[in-house]
Structure 1
């Protein structure tokens, strides 16, 4: 009998925002408890550090470069993906929440049996706005907070703080979770021969950093881990970071203000954890829990004040934005060694893993590898993991222009429009303790994560590391040769 599969996906959640990953200020009991019956991957990496390219990658199994997914604004039609594969192979597919995968004018129900966006009152809704717009879900009280966020030296910090309630900003996530609970209840009363596949993808802890009580007040600010120092004081980092840091203007903030922003972000993570708990409880209540594989992860991370930078960036790969949560509670009968695993895994491994859980072969060639062997106990999965982004000079379509200084996104997006080295192509290759970043138009980077977990000392500028760098370059070359293109599965009719 095929088991159910439930994907619960955060937006912009970093791996070290969970208590069981060492963050003593975090309150994530539902995520933490997964390691008692499943696996949490310590070395899970996204394939692009912003939403749209990352989601295209983990839903298809293709690296972003394969089909040119290197921008937030351009989506392709009709790429093979795990939603369609599950539907074809006998699952009832329910898509709840964020899009960031197919064009807004395309019917989501081409990919699933039911789609709910978290905004409308309809189960089947085909029209969704492009990207994430926190202003679209604000009531009067949160509108005032959003306006205050854009004042003074707070303007580009994304800090909103304590929300008056859950009825404005963040309401969409509650709608999505309640719809998921409603679906589980409905399935329990309307038995079906089909197992279910739920893709529930919500917006927290994506900035602005704002959260209601009880989560906002629950985070002990005194337990926050050390913050990574301002990038302005660190030599040999990516020019993109220097550009954003200068424009965001957070370097003069006292540590107390960063602490408030970071604590609010962790409150958003804690709210996500609470919502996961509601889903787990409902599955147990109706008797589905043992027969359901639960996979929890995020599309990418967030700087949250590290390097005196808020939000994210498209072509830098420090752990706060590339190292993501990835946890699995397998259904009964799936071999598992519960633990925190050090195996290196990638989000694009999800389609292959889901297909193996569902008992079928993917109908197309892709680059992911099922990590069920690692779930069962192996600490060897991939010798290297990759993340990539940026553009070549002249790629105006990838600049994402159009945001003026009034937008909180202006520091990043205006820097992306530079024709200097800032927004240009780069690829990260992590092998064990070393993280190497090859850059097209500026110096490379190399970090020893065991000795330098904050990624402050760029070893690529030191001659004694030339052999390690060459080995990493060789691995990147092999990576591109293995994954450069996707050959369509069918022949044209001539």
Structure 2
């Protein structure tokens, strides 16, 4: 009799629990607000060590209200491939988002899952780069494209966020909102060409002068480079202004207490040896999470290594939604809850091709102490191609190289690299001294090679064949010739995210990329 009574009691308890969850108001469910800035280096905010006065009060304030990670990374150092990892939980070579084209992904993305779970999904700015399919209606309830001349203005973000929050409230749904702040992407504030673009008409709240900023160690000292760096930091300041507007809109919507705010940069600054590289300045990112009432304020996580591939499983765990088995990252929810969890020792990164479709495949491994890089294209015959070549620092380095032997050596290395690289980050955080042939590091090199091969095998990386032939430059050149041919075919046939690429205009292309 007692057993029957206990069973009945358990049934009543479970039924009440289920009903309580089912009856939970949408407004009581957790919202997710995912904020990205474009091309901001990991150490640009004040909270991450930048000494420029008042450079990032809004980023710093967000960090002081939650947790900031000291060892956080993205998987790819260029826009669309990087953003694709956050939304898919897959490495770029696995999902197929290797470049700037749309992909026929056989799995549901994070917003698609949340859409089915009753969330109101929205993306403000960069909907194209946040999506795998050109049919946004399958992914987003709400998507807003911000005009080029408007996307550097705080009031623009305030207006668009107000509209998004209002629509979510009107639909009586919790929200998953993705807002992509355009700064500090090129063109920087006061760069040549900004007058035409209209950006110069909307200055940051503080304008810094050249004597207030320092040139990063990985670039040479020159007045023109100093000016470009100054312009960059003024754009960092304007990005922080825009973040302030987004957070003000969240507060205005009355959703602060029930919203988890996640802040990252999609990759490093748009300068040589940063963006489009698998060095620390290409793939390390500021990563801040504010979870009111859950995460202790001003928490600094110095041990756990996280990366973009971990974002989707973590968000699904936070929301108590079942995770698909194909996800390649791990949830770091236990860390957010202040619990101990097994430490991630290594982060794997990759670059495949630039926005124009030119392939220059790179793979990287990051530990807290070392950075290993494999450049499959670096046989001596090819030159690295990136957007930085169009801007002041690259052009100035090229000019300086004609008379300065040290700059020439550095400039030549920028263009040609080495097949393998190893850097001791404790001694050389800016990747200036390649230790790949230093006998003192032979054991580390051997370990990193093994880790790289295992990861490439486990993730079915198309670059594995090249990695296994890394000591045969003739073989690498042959494989790169094949890769360039395939890349040109993709550029000339697929539905592209940019209006032109290496094959010309992309208008009219409808075919999506399918992972073979």
Same fold? TM cut 0.5:
yes
Shift of the 277–75 alpha-carbon distance from structure 1 to 2, 3 Å rule, reads same
Unaligned runs of 5+ in 1: 120-136, 138-167, 231-250, 391-397, 402-412, 417-422, 487-494
User: 2: distance between equivalents of 1:432 and 1:400?
Assistant: 30
Which residue of structure 2 lines up, in the alignment, with residue 100 of structure 1?
Answer: 129
Q: Does 1:463 align with 2:439?
A: yes
Task: Please say if residues 117 and 176 of structure 1, whose CA atoms lie closer than 8 Å, have aligned partners that are also in contact.
Answer: no
Task: Please say if residues 40 and 341 of structure 1, whose CA atoms lie closer than 8 Å, have aligned partners that are also in contact.
Answer: yes
What is the CA-CA distance between 1:229 and the residue it aligns to?
Answer: 4.3
Which residue of structure 1 lines up, in the alignment, with residue 181 of structure 2?
Answer: 202
Higher normalized contact order (CA 8 Å, seq sep 6+, divided by chain length):
1
User: 2: distance between equivalents of 1:380 and 1:30?
Assistant: 32
- Of residues 3, 6, 17 in structure 1, which corresponds to 2:44? 17
What is the CA-CA distance between 1:65 and the residue it aligns to?
Answer: 1.6
- Of residues 328, 339, 344 in structure 2, which corresponds to 1:367? 328
Which residue of structure 2 lines up, in the alignment, with residue 163 of structure 1?
Answer: none
Shift of the 399–91 alpha-carbon distance from structure 1 to 2, 3 Å rule, reads closer
What is the CA-CA distance between 1:355 and the residue it aligns to?
Answer: 0.7
Q: 1:100-146 deviations in whole A, cap 9, x for unaligned?
A: 24467x32111021222224xxxxxxxxxxxxxxxxx3xxxxxxxxx
Q: Does 1:480 align with 2:480?
A: no
Q: 1:324-352 deviations in whole A, cap 9, x for unaligned?
A: 121111143x3446323222110121111
User: 2: distance between equivalents of 1:294 and 1:338?
Assistant: 14
Match runs of 1:293-442 below 5 Å: 293-304=260-271, 312-313=275-276, 316-332=277-293, 334-336=294-296, 338-342=298-302, 343-377=304-338, 378=340, 381-390=343-352, 416=358, 424-440=360-376, 441=379, 442=418
Unaligned runs of 5+ in 2: 1-27, 190-198, 380-417, 463-516
Normalising by structure 1, we get a TM-score of 0.70
User: 2: distance between equivalents of 1:112 and 1:74?
Assistant: 16
Q: 1:48-97 deviations in whole A, cap 9, x for unaligned?
A: 11112111111101111213332224533554210101111121111221
Shift of the 399–97 alpha-carbon distance from structure 1 to 2, 3 Å rule, reads closer
Which residue of structure 1 lines up, in the alignment, with residue 217 of structure 2?
Answer: 228
Which residue of structure 1 lines up, in the alignment, with residue 228 of structure 2?
Answer: 261
Q: 1:268-315 deviations in whole A, cap 9, x for unaligned?
A: 2222212222222232234210110001112111243x56xxx832xx
Shift of the 15–323 alpha-carbon distance from structure 1 to 2, 3 Å rule, reads same
Task: Please say if residues 45 and 324 of structure 1, whose CA atoms lie closer than 8 Å, have aligned partners that are also in contact.
Answer: yes
- Bigger Cα Rg: 2
What is the CA-CA distance between 1:22 and the residue it aligns to?
Answer: 0.9
Which residue of structure 2 lines up, in the alignment, with residue 160 of structure 1?
Answer: none
Task: Please say if residues 257 and 292 of structure 2, whose CA atoms lie closer than 8 Å, have aligned partners that are also in contact.
Answer: yes
Helix, strand or coil at the partner of 1:461: coil
Shift of the 279–425 alpha-carbon distance from structure 1 to 2, 3 Å rule, reads closer
User: 2: distance between equivalents of 1:380 and 1:475?
Assistant: 18
Which residue of structure 1 lines up, in the alignment, with residue 163 of structure 2?
Answer: 182
Matched positions, count: 381
What is the CA-CA distance between 1:438 and the residue it aligns to?
Answer: 2.4
What is the CA-CA distance between 1:259 and the residue it aligns to?
Answer: 2.2
Shift of the 45–285 alpha-carbon distance from structure 1 to 2, 3 Å rule, reads same
**Bigger mean CA deviation after superposition, 67-76 or 340-349:** 67-76
What is the CA-CA distance between 1:207 and the residue it aligns to?
Answer: 0.5
- Of residues 34, 38, 41 in structure 1, which corresponds to 2:69? 41
Task: Please say if residues 373 and 381 of structure 1, whose CA atoms lie closer than 8 Å, have aligned partners that are also in contact.
Answer: no
Aligned-residue CA RMSD in angstroms? 2.8
Shift of the 317–216 alpha-carbon distance from structure 1 to 2, 3 Å rule, reads farther
